[in-house]
Chains A and B, each alone.
Chain A
Amino acid sequence: MSATAAAPESQAGRVWARFRRHRLALAGGMVVALLLASALFAPVLAPQDPTLLDTALRFRAPFADWHFPLGTDELGRDTLSRLLHGGRVSLTVGLVAMVTTVMTGALIGIAAGYLGGIADTVLMRFVDTMLCFPQVFLLLVVAAFVPPTLVSISLVIGLTSWMEVSRIVRAEILHLKEQDFVAAARALGASRARIMFRELLPNAAAPILVAATLKVASAVLMESYISYLGYGVQPPLASWGNMLTNAQGYFDTVPWLAILPGAAITLTVMGFNFLGDGLRDALDPRLRMDP
């Protein structure tokens, strides 16, 4: 480390110092913050009603008309407004799916890691079995079975992608449960549940946080793909995925209708991935992978 005039002393300070050196992660964090803000304020920021049709105004080009900054689609709806509202939908699904993934994965990981023995064997064999199915196959089958609402889509994505999280958490718990503070808690008469959730869980927060960030990226990706295939978010509600479905038909004449939502998905996935990568380097330098 160079230029350590005022070396940060607290744990948080050191983590922040490591994170800050990671320029891509910093950029990712800013992109994520901007996306979250734009989703939060979509109703205010959107120049038009995203569902307002006007077939007289079909296929306006981007940057041509002040009223439709990014042009209009095949039904004359404002593309910018649809992108903003679609982002709201896609990010909501991504975040709810991530929470589902992390909660399921952490619960199973803690139970398997701390209880050990037969519980560990059964739970981990279940994880192994679930991982035998390629994720997209599993996701599509279940998504096609349940009526698509925002909640069901999020749950389906969450419940088909928690397996890696449970492995990460279990490995961390196996390491943590041998530490002195756990023995101390046990000696003080703490219950099993207390040790699992009040002693072990907070200490496993770092890898869980990293996994959670990366899971938002993959959940947004999965949502866009199943919506693109028609099993996800249903029209007239816009999501970046289902905007692509329609756009594909007008590819040769109005390519920007396909370029814009795809760029939004890519930007989101990159933002969360870079943020997660930076968090991993900052929180746990042992896992560093890149220069």
Chain B
Amino acid sequence: MIGFVARRLLQAIPLLIGVSLIGFGLMHLAPGGPLAVYTLNPTIQAQDIERIRIIFGLDQPIHVQYVKWATGIFSGNWGYTFFGGRPVLDVILERLPATLLLMGSALSVAILLGLSIGVLGAVKRYSVFDVLATTGALFALSFPTFWFGLMAIFVFAIELRWLPSGGMWELGEEGNILSLLQHLVLPTLVLALVITATWSRYSRSAFLEVMHQDYMRTARAKGVPPRARLLRHAFPNAAKPLIALLGVEVPFLFSGALVTETIFGWPGMGRLFVDALGMKEYPVLMGMMMFTAIFVILGNLLADIAIAAIDPRVRLR
């Protein structure tokens, strides 16, 4: 197991290097270069830009700049924002809790709901429920998240006035848990829709695959009751592809959270990203690309390790 984890960790290193190269390259390919905010601003003089270039180290050869930036990333110095000069990592980390809260609540709802629908569909295959659920999932997967969000605001916030239309708290009620929960409902539903559909599809096919295996028949023959068959025999075997799905889903979760946050004005990382895009805050954009990519690599790593922990066949490969 230790050997497997070590091997898997080593494989992540070239990925990290690749990600940092692409992230770094993108910002240098940007129109106006990494200092676009200044070079595209007519009120800033040429000699001031030259001074800024030297302060940011942009007069040095490109590979020197890359090595400096990359070592900074791994030692916690992610550069400073153009506006306000704050450390980029701090700016990102202060938005992280809001995003994690949204992703966590949406993922919990989606897994709970999707898994139940999928398992029920697999157990009662081709029943009315199963056909409705699989067709419904196909429809849900085609729904544009941002329009679904707009429609949810229209119906539940504007027409019915049941829930707030955006933000995280009511003004002056920061820290009030009840207010937070009210604001969390709609974004959670919107982000959870597509994930629920994916989970119901995957868990249905994972359970169908498992239920016709020989060991299931053996369990039935020796008189294991249905519930125990499902929980003790089918579930651990069906869990493998689902854990893999969890790992693969991290980038989709970030993309979905970005879309949801922009619609609902949720003050998370996605919102930060879109704001930074509008202000040409390249250090923040570059930092966000790195941050999400590291999360994605980490997600895949953890999923692989979890699968290896469940299934010894995987570790020996």
Taking Cβ atoms with an 8 Å cutoff, the residues of A that contact B are 24, 125-126, 128-138, 140-142, 144-146, 217, 221, 224-225, 228-229, 231, 244, 248, 251-252, 255, 258-259, 262, 265-266, 269-270, 273-274, 277, 289-291
Task: For A144, list chain B residues within 8 Å (CB).
Answer: 277
8 additional A-B pairs beyond A131-B296, A262-B150, beta carbons within 8 Å, are A133-B292, A224-B144, A251-B150, A251-B154, A252-B158, A262-B144, A266-B142, A274-B138
Chain B 281-310 per-residue mask, 1 if CB under 8 angstroms from chain A, else 0: 000010011001100110000000000000
8 Å CB contact of B273 from A140, A145, A262: A140
8 contacts between A and B (CB under 8 A): A24-B135, A132-B293, A133-B289, A134-B252, A134-B296, A137-B292, A145-B31, A277-B138
Decide: B26 and A134 in contact? CB cutoff 8 A.
no
Does B44 count as interface, using CB distance less than 8 angstroms? no
Does B139 count as interface, using CB distance less than 8 angstroms? yes
Q: Which of B243-292 contact A (CB under 8 A)?
A: 251-252, 254-255, 258-259, 262, 273-274, 277, 285, 288-289, 292
Query: What 8 pairs between A and B have smallest CB-CB spacing?
Result: A129-B18, A262-B147, A136-B255, A134-B254, A270-B142, A134-B251, A132-B293, A134-B255
Given the known inter-chain contacts A134-B254, A224-B144, A262-B151, please indicate yes or no for A291 contacting B15, CB distance below 8 A.
no
Decide: A135 and B251 in contact? CB cutoff 8 A.
yes
Measured CB to CB, the closest approach of chain A to B88, in angstroms, equals 15
Does B89 count as interface, using CB distance less than 8 angstroms? no
Closest to A230 in B: B278
Decide: B274 and A229 in contact? CB cutoff 8 A.
yes
Q: Which of A136, A142, A244 has the most CB of B within 10 A?
A: A136
Stretch at the interface among B72-80, B124-132, B170-178, B230-238: B124-132
Taking Cβ atoms with an 8 Å cutoff, the residues of B that contact A are 14-15, 18-19, 22, 26, 29-31, 125-126, 130-131, 134-135, 138-139, 141-144, 146-147, 150-151, 153-154, 158, 201, 205, 251-252, 254-255, 258-259, 262, 273-274, 277, 285, 288-289, 292-293, 296-297
Given the known inter-chain contacts A129-B15, A225-B144, A258-B150, please indicate yes or no for A141 contacting B26, CB distance below 8 A.
yes
- The dominant DSSP class at the A interface is helix
Q: When chains A and B are docked, how far (Å) is the Cα of A225 from the Cα of B29?
A: 24
Closest to A221 in B: B144
Measured CB to CB, the closest approach of chain A to B101, in angstroms, equals 18
Decide: B141 and A273 in contact? CB cutoff 8 A.
yes
8 Å CB contact of A132 from B147, B251, B273: B251
Q: When chains A and B are docked, how far (Å) is the Cα of A161 from the Cα of B288?
A: 19
Decide: A137 and B258 in contact? CB cutoff 8 A.
yes
Task: For B201, list chain A residues within 8 Å (CB).
Answer: 289-290
8 Å CB contact of B259 from A130, A225, A273, A289: A225
Task: For A289, list chain B residues within 8 Å (CB).
Answer: 201, 205
Given the known inter-chain contacts A132-B293, A137-B258, A289-B205, please indicate yes or no for A142 contacting B142, CB distance below 8 A.
no
Given the known inter-chain contacts A24-B135, A290-B138, A291-B131, please indicate yes or no for A135 contacting B151, CB distance below 8 A.
no
Decide: A129 and B22 in contact? CB cutoff 8 A.
yes
Q: When chains A and B are docked, how far (Å) is the Cα of A142 from the Cα of B125?
A: 45
8 Å CB contact of B22 from A130, A136, A270, A273: A130
Decide: B144 and A266 in contact? CB cutoff 8 A.
yes
Task: For A244, list chain B residues within 8 Å (CB).
Answer: 146-147, 150
Q: When chains A and B are docked, how far (Å) is the Cα of A211 from the Cα of B200?
A: 22
Given the known inter-chain contacts A133-B251, A136-B259, A262-B147, please indicate yes or no for A291 contacting B134, CB distance below 8 A.
yes
Decide: A270 and B139 in contact? CB cutoff 8 A.
yes
Decide: B143 and A266 in contact? CB cutoff 8 A.
yes
Task: For A228, list chain B residues within 8 Å (CB).
Answer: 146
Q: When chains A and B are docked, how far (Å) is the Cα of A273 from the Cα of B201?
A: 15
Decide: B22 and A266 in contact? CB cutoff 8 A.
no
Decide: B296 and A132 in contact? CB cutoff 8 A.
yes
